[in-house]
């Protein structure tokens, strides 16, 4: 007997946006603030696919994570890594668009609406990002990392870097399913994917900061692993000339980062990559930070 297809009016309404957020031991206070920033969005038509990749810090028991029907919590006892969990989230997504966010970052109130409206108005764009406000562990603002807004500028230095912060991504669900993350990539999973996809895709970005991006201190392991996995993508998918150029550029950048770490000047590397914070952005962040602190008290 063939199953009966329910009338359109009886089918469950699908969300406009599916947010994919894998996490592993993010810290309850960080995760709670990230979730609050999503619940306060001007765009309410979303689902959050929160995937616990084997946490042991108790963060999965947060009331905010378990009390909102828009949040789908997927729990795993063992870690499979970020790329595998991202692919899992993409496979579970029901929305027209997929958005990325990390469990220790904070979305500005109009983030989802601005990006989804942009994708509605630009059907040729597959994936977009946004500029970010860099913050430290205490939430103090460091500077703005500004992304170019057009495709050609975003891919201009493809041999070295795509200035598209991963937690700000929003794109079409079909694009994410066509371009899965490489589960062998331990670091730089986003850059690896972008290099494989940029020749057949159309990118864009919003110039205004839409996310507070928590600064991650440089480490030898992260620096070397990230550059190694990016170079894997270049050597597998680029021309020999591109691969050689990329290797030279990444070697020089790695030496710079390693020297900065050895001299205790790694924060200076970050500061050279950011711009002065506009007063409007700083005021918005000050108000949002105060609301987040009040919500925890």
Q: What is the per-residue pLDDT across 213-222, written as a single tens digit (0 to 9) for each?
A: 988 766 677 7
The pLDDT confidence band at residue 188, using thresholds 50, 70 and 90, is very high
With contact defined as beta carbons under 8 Å apart, do 213 and 138 qualify?
A: no
Judge whether residue 2 has pLDDT over 50. Answer: no
Alpha-carbon 173 to chain mean position: 15
DSSP state of 4: P
Q: What is the percent of the chain where pLDDT is above 70?
A: 93
Residue of 26 and 297 predicted with greater confidence = 26
Q: What is the pLDDT of residue 270?
A: 72
pLDDT at residue number 5: 47
> What is the pTM assigned to this prediction?
0.91
Quote the pLDDT of residue 3: 44
- The span from the CA of 44 to the CA of 26, in Å, is 24
Identify the band that residue 245 occupies on the pLDDT scale cut at 50, 70 and 90.
very high
| Residue range 99-114, pLDDT digits in tens | 999 999 999 999 999 9
- Whether pLDDT at 164 is above 60: yes
- Please, which pLDDT band fits residue 11 given cuts at 50, 70 and 90? low
Per-residue model confidence as pLDDT tens digits over 29-65: 999 999 999 999 999 999 999 999 999 998 899 999 9
Mean pLDDT, range 184-205, rounded to an integer = 95
List Cβ<8 Å contacts ≥24 apart for 215-220: 215/134, 215/135, 215/136, 215/137, 215/142, 215/270, 217/266, 218/257, 218/260, 218/261, 218/266, 218/269, 218/270, 219/261, 220/258, 220/261
pLDDT, the chain, mean: 91
pLDDT tens readout for residues 258-273: 887 787 776 676 777 7
pLDDT over 80 at 189, yes or no: yes
């Amino acid at each position: 007997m063939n199953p009966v297809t329910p009338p359109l009016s009886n089918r469950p309404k699908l969300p406009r946006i599916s947010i994919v957020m894998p996490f592993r031991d993010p810290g309850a206070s960080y995760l709670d603030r990230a979730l609050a920033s999503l619940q306060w969005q001007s765009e309410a038509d979303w689902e959050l696919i929160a995937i616990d990749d084997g946490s042991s810090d108790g963060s999965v028991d947060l009331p905010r994570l378990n009390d909102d029907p828009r949040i789908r919590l997927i729990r795993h006892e063992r870690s499979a890594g970020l790329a595998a969990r991202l692919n899992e989230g993409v496979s579970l997504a029901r929305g027209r668009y997929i958005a990325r966010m990390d469990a220790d970052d904070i979305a500005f109130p109009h983030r989802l609406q601005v990006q989804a409206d942009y994708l509605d108005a630009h059907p040729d764009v597959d994936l977009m990002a946004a500029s970010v406000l860099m913050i430290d562990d205490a939430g103090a603002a460091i500077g703005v990392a500004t992304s170019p807004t057009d495709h050609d500028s975003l891919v201009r230095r493809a041999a070295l870097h795509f200035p598209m912060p991963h937690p700000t991504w929003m794109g079409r669900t079909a694009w994410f399913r066509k371009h899965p993350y490489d589960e062998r990539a331990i670091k730089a999973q986003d850059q690896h994917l972008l290099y494989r996809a940029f020749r057949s895709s159309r990118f864009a970005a919003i110039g205004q900061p839409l996310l507070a991006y928590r600064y991650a201190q440089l480490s030898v392991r992260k620096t070397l692993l990230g550059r190694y996995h990016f170079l894997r993508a270049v050597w597998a998918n680029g021309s020999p000339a591109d691969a050689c150029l990329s290797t030279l550029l990444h070697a020089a950048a790695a030496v710079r980062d390693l020297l900065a770490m050895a001299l205790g000047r790694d924060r200076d590397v970050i500061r050279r990559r950011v711009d002065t914070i506009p007063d409007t952005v700083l005021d918005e962040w000050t108000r949002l930070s105060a609301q987040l602190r009040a919500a925890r008290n």
